[in-house]
Chains A and B, each alone.
Chain A
């Protein structure tokens, strides 16, 4: 994995050096869906952020290898005499699209807005106590306690102009769920490399290059036409017919065909997202099972049997057409805390699995319903269907309930499912993000996606200690201990890490971004 990433990085570096920027180039960029809103703090959602990153900018962001890069902040460090304060030095000479200068006041305003009541970005700033401007180019963020990894939470928090926001009455964040609308939903004023020219929601948005942008290297793409095309086959057809230049969401089965087509190439790379199955824990009988005494999933032998029955390699080869990286841990390799030992997974052993089931008291298996989304992850429904067949072979009869993600997610967050598929991306690149939401007992701001209600007080204590531990070596050791328990206890049943594929016209190169948030400034053209 490491070599793949390094190779990709090297390839990118060499192409960047070879190619000089070409004059006036328009790129037609097709995706499966549109940005939900342009209000930068209203929705914490990948497609929305991806769009916004072209117009607005963050203090820091990540390159294609996942390393933090300076963007509007030139440097960030914990204050020498106070471990609870982060100091950010800002880039000089940055202006917003309307000409106003970008200053520390704007950062204070934006961070306060991002952690306000209606903001969807709130959970990332939950440990912030106050934000103050020291001078025009220095900002101090006071935390509630030592938060050595806070800077990782800033990669999707965009900076707005305070004056513009006040003039246009958008100091408050749009309440998306309540169907609210405001000026910032359709109008933008960022510092980013592109300016919004026109926007028709769900149809077409046009962006033009910002000539006053601070970056020394001007982007090769001078105009972006963004086209949401929801049907996968139509999207691919549009690329084949030359109607669009880049398709970001390519179905795995079409990669081979596109690769073999003259004039089209496909860039693939690992995504920072793991696909896994979750179980319902606890002693109460499952809602959808024929076992009315106790919960079979609560028995570690059953979970072991299920892991031995699932053939991850077959899923990779047939369902994913080779476009996945099977894994034995619910943690992508990008994330601190991942190790090859954790990643290893057992070989399929149906006889042993049947023995374990019999030992657990279910020689004839049992029935249960599996809830799966059908429009969120790559081939999500097909993966679930395959697992239904594999579990059927050891006697576990699974009924498949397939729903769009809008109906599936609430089932998980409200603990109404017995057995479910979910994908987990880790924007902070740190294991604590996985533990907080998936492993910690459901309690307040913890365990939001722990839909199976797994609870281990000993682990909870360790997980909470990660937030304020300043000794990073000790913290790493704690992370390793937690993963060991999570893996041995089989809290989750990980299947694979997703692989992304972008298809594009031959003359263009857009490298795959591990969070699936590529910037079109990184597009290069062949001569």
Chain B
């Protein structure tokens, strides 16, 4: 559990794990580190890293590199609908590498823009879950007693329900609360809130456990004796020492959040159909499997698999790399 030797903790008597004999730049230090060594040694991780980077870059640069703008309904030509991959539309000059969907949208461009939505929701929801889970976990672990009991029982109750069920519940409630004319513009934030709220508990649990270990250590006692404010102790001293495990489950959590978003959109409760995420694209595509228009489902589904798999593999590797027992 302790990741003391990894972090710049002020714990006495712990030498830096990698002590380069000569002064070097940051890059040099990184390339010499244990982490980089273990990364280099695992071809699967290297491939996963490049796949994830490629997909993220593709999503980020979508407006620059996408051949069409699928989010601008005015630019679509319905008659292009169902054009097969690598062929030109029978009705216009448009050419589609991955074919066109039921609305005449270019599948490739839709995937690029759709990944943006998926990644944005995934990142923001994970960030939300991390911040909330870490805050509550630190408070519970440091204070103990009633606060700990209440927070952890709520987390236990929530963990006994599947995350997707909780997200659906939150989504339903939010839909009821938000006025009808703002629902579409708010949909993406409601989605982030729903996924974030359904995932905070595991972060809270991990952080609480780590905090309870750190709390008993001498450096915390020293800080307390010196009269440092408890909030500062938590943020400046304990937080950096519990970040390691959070980073690991955060990475895996990101993959889960992306899949959760896809599931919600697949069920039709996510983003508006005119601004589809990967899950929405899969929902649309699965209607056309029997009729033979496989490309509408296949390419978005492959993208989702690659994205979730590569992020997951990175998370797995990070867990092993940060685990001192496995070194």
Contacts and interface: CB of A to CB of B under 8 A. Distances in A.
A and B physically associate: yes
Interface stretch (A23-31, A175-183, A208-216, A250-258): A250-258
A401 to B, nearest CB: 5
B273 A402 contact: yes
A interface SS class: helix
Interface string A84-123: 0000000000000000000000000000000000000000
A232 interface: yes
Interface string B166-200: 00000000000000110111000000000000000
B200 to A, nearest CB: 29
A400 B82 CA distance: 21
Contacts of A287: 180-181
Given A288-B181, A382-B103, A388-B274, A251 B287 contact: yes
A393 interface: yes
Contact of A400 (B81, B181, B274, B288): B274
A254 B290 contact: yes
B181 A386 contact: no
Interface centre among B79, B185, B287 (most CB of A within 10 A): B287
A232 B290 CA distance: 10
B287 A232 contact: yes
B147 to A, nearest CB: 40
Interface residues of B, number: 29
A185 interface: no
Interface stretch (B50-58, B68-76, B254-262): B68-76
A453 interface: no
B303 to A, nearest CB: 21
A193 B287 CA distance: 37
B21 interface: no
Interface in B285-303: 286-293
B104 interface: yes
B180 A317 contact: no
A287 B183 CA distance: 12
A397 B78 CA distance: 17
A38 interface: no
A257 B290 contact: yes
Contacts of B3: none
Contacts of B289: 233
19 contacts: A233-B286, A233-B287, A233-B289, A240-B290, A253-B287, A254-B291, A287-B181, A314-B79, A317-B79, A369-B184, A388-B73, A389-B103, A391-B73, A392-B73, A392-B75, A395-B74, A399-B184, A401-B180, A416-B180
Interface of A: 232-233, 236-237, 240, 251, 253-254, 256-257, 287-288, 311, 314-315, 317-319, 369, 374, 381-382, 385-386, 388-393, 395, 397-402, 404, 411, 416-417
* Those 8 A-B pairs whose CB atoms lie nearest each other, nearest first: A392-B74, A389-B73, A318-B81, A253-B291, A392-B73, A389-B76, A314-B78, A288-B181
Given A257-B292, A374-B268, A393-B74, 12 more contacts: A233-B289, A237-B290, A257-B290, A287-B180, A287-B181, A288-B181, A319-B78, A374-B273, A385-B273, A399-B185, A399-B274, A411-B180
